Homo-oligomer: A and B are copies of this chain.
Amino acid sequence: MLVSTRLDASDARLLVEAARGKATEIGVPMCIAVADESGSLVAFERMDGGKVHSIQVALDKAFTAASARRPTSELALAAQPGSPLFGINAAVGGRFSIVGGGVPVFVDGAVVGAVGVSSGTPEQDAACAGAAVDAFARRVSEA
């Protein structure tokens, strides 16, 4: 049988708070989602001013990064015309996101979940998701 390690609700709150902190710093209200290693939602927050369509996009970025075990910004490159994953963004009912802003969370080399952020540019989204993952890594290394 398989044993999996995944983000718990407390981990997810830390990730949301760190993403929110970065979003506040750069002045862009975001939708922030945290999924576990099975891609299932653990936590979500739409900051005041976060966009309505970004609710679903943030959920899907977290889902995709957790399941694909790669940042969605890398998937963007692999899904360009002529590249192997071209067209994958329509998969899973359109939930497979190839827009930057989804970042997996690794512990001891294994994916335990992911953060998905949406409402800014993909670069801003990825910066907030990355800040969350970095903050979590620091907590894990301190524990």
Residue of B nearest to A29 (CB): B9
A94 touching B97 by the CB < 8 A rule? Answer: no
Contacts of A47 in B (CB 8 A): 9
- Whether B87 pairs with A98 at a CB distance below 8 angstroms is yes
A5 and B1 contact, CB distance less than 8 A: yes
CA gap between A53 and B63 in the complex, in Å: 8
Quickly give the copy total for this chain. 4
Q: Which residue of B lies closest to A72 (CB)?
A: B87
Asked if A42 lies at the interface with its beta carbon under 8 angstroms from chain B, I say yes
In A61-111, the 8 Å CB interface with B consists of 63-64, 66-69, 76, 79-82, 84-100, 107
Residue in contact with A80 in the complex, picked from B53, B67, B86, B90, CB distance below 8 Å = B86
User: Cβ of A51 and Cβ of B76 under 8 Å apart?
Assistant: no
- CB within 8 Å of B: which residues of A? 1-9, 11-13, 36, 38-48, 51-57, 60, 63-64, 66-69, 76, 79-82, 84-100, 107, 112, 121-123
Ranked 3 nearest A-B pairs via Cβ: A87-B89, A44-B44, A38-B38
